[in-house]
Amino acid sequence: MLRRDDALALDAADPLAGFRDRFHTPNPDVVYLDGNSLGMPPKRTIERLTEIFDDDWATGLIRSWDHWIDYPQRVGDLLAPLIGAGPGEVVLHDTTTMNVYQLVHAAIALRPDRRVIAISADDFPTDRYVVDGIASRTGHEVRHGFDDLSDVAVAVRSVVDYRTAERLDVAAETARAHASGALVVWDLSHAAGAIEVDLHACGAQLAIGCSYKFLNGGPGAPAWTYIAKELQPTIEQPIWGWFATVDQFAMGPTFEPRADIARVLLGTPSILSLAAAECGIALSAEAGIAAIAAKGRALTGFAIDLCDQWQLATPTPRDAQWRGNHVAIAHPDARRIVTELAARDVIFDFREPDIIRAGCSPLTTRFTDVFDGLTAIHEF
């Protein structure tokens, strides 16, 4: 039988344990198992935002744009190794919703003879809503599911299921889609900074994701876009903004898109938000995605063992190779449990109709958090 002493021993042996001290926590006793929705704030973020204010905005004023101008690309290059991308293939900008919108439009423009957009009927709402909105305006058909890829221009897919944490085989599904003539836009919102994903090795050409979950970028932190180098010169996106044009300060009469990853940029980026995102991404880069993923597997495996011990039902895959870094617990009284535990500083989140999600964010989640949190659910 697993006991709290077992969790304490695992924490003592954890090579990433020291990273938790580099984050702000509301109090030392909080049990935070929702880093898969919003990561904790790094202490460095507060320092960095103060630097940006004092040294750049307040002192440099407009002159600070000399080193702000390519900030979205620089932070993208910092993120790239965490997802198996190369330099110049990732840029931080705008929101996940906007970035899905851009890449789906870009993909259907590359497949003008195809009239179908494929997506799962139970994928994350943002992705489904964006796809439905695009289809309603372009006349494309929305097909739910991926068994039939005939006439599919683009498939929009999440690497990790936001409810159950089931993980897809990105390489196999990308190859299958490409063999049928379709493109794939991969959503890594629940994968980046949590599990090992090698976009290059998987043959993926298009991907998006957020930076406020496992990457600890802060609420509303900018999302990111990945486009493989070979596609960048030909990608056409639907919103033409001045940061994406070849010579933005020429203020020319017509839009001429850049040939690199910056062609998906829109207007002036949020420098403060980029600085916060950079701090969270830098911590993940320092820890290394292999170590982060290894701890994630251990945390979620420990959580599943506790589910078995306390007879809590979980739809999360038991094979660590095929799950992300949260564990779903199915309970008929899930909503009430999450609400009442939050009042006691034991923080999960709820997903309809009956899922409690226990997020295991490797840089901040302790094995004792997992033990205490699941024990609290068991005691209801």
pLDDT in tens, the chain (380 residues): 999 999 999 999 999 999 999 999 988 889 999 999 999 999 999 999 999 999 999 999 999 999 999 999 999 999 999 999 999 999 999 999 999 999 999 999 999 999 999 999 999 999 999 999 999 999 999 999 999 999 999 999 999 999 999 999 999 999 999 999 999 999 999 999 999 999 999 999 999 999 999 999 999 999 999 999 999 999 999 999 999 999 999 999 999 999 999 999 999 999 999 999 999 999 999 999 999 999 999 999 999 999 999 999 999 999 999 999 999 999 999 999 999 999 999 999 999 999 999 999 999 999 999 999 999 999 98
Can you tell me the distance from the alpha carbon of 101 to that of 131, in angstroms, rounded to the nearest whole number? 8
Which pair of structure tokens corresponds to residue 359? 């997020």
Q: Which of 363, 214, 371, 379 is nearest to 302 (CA)?
A: 371
- Give the catalytic positions in this structure: 124, 187, 212-213, 357
Rg (C-alpha) for the chain, rounded Å, is 21
Count the neighbouring beta carbons within 10 Å of the beta carbon of residue 27.
6
Long-range contacts of residues 244-252, Cβ cutoff 8 Å, at least 24 apart? none
CB 58 within 8 A of CB 48: no
Helix axes 271-287, 289-310, angle to 10 degrees: 80
Which pair of structure tokens corresponds to residue 288? 């290394």
Going 228 to 234 to 235 to 241, the CA torsion angle's sign is: positive
Q: Which of 150, 159, 167, 165 is nearest to 115 (CA)?
A: 150
- pLDDT for 28 equals 86
State the residue for tokens 């909105």: 133
Can you tell me the distance from the alpha carbon of 39 to that of 275, in angstroms, rounded to the nearest whole number? 15
Predicted TM-score (pTM) of this structure: 0.97
3-state secondary structure the chain: CCCHHHHHHHHHCCCCHHHHHHECCCCCCCEECCCCCCCCCEHHHHHHHHHHHHHHHHHHHHHHHHHHCCHHHHHHHHHHHHHCCCCCCEEECCCHHHHHHHHHHHHHHHCCCCCEEEECCCCCHHHHHHHHHHHHHHCCEEEECCCCCCCEEEEEEECECCCCCEECCHHHHHHHHHHHCCEEEEECCCCCCCCCCCHHHHCCCEEEECCCCCCCCCCCCCCEEEECCCCHHHCCCCCCCHHHECCHHHCCCCCCECCCHHHHCCCCCCHHHHHHHHHHHHHHHHHCHHHHHHHHHHHHHHHHHHHHHHCCECCCCCCHHHECCEEEEECCCHHHHHHHHHCCCEECEEECCCEEEEECCCCCCCHHHHHHHHHHHHCC
What φ, ψ does residue 245 adopt, rounded to 5°? -90, 155
Q: Alpha carbon of 373 to those of 327, 330, 350, 355: distances in Å?
A: 12, 15, 14, 15
What φ, ψ does residue 362 adopt, rounded to 5°? -60, -25
- pLDDT for 344 equals 96
Please give the single-letter amino acid code of residue 280: G
Can you tell me the distance from the alpha carbon of 72 to that of 45, in angstroms, rounded to the nearest whole number? 17
**Cα-to-chain-centroid distance, residue 100:** 13
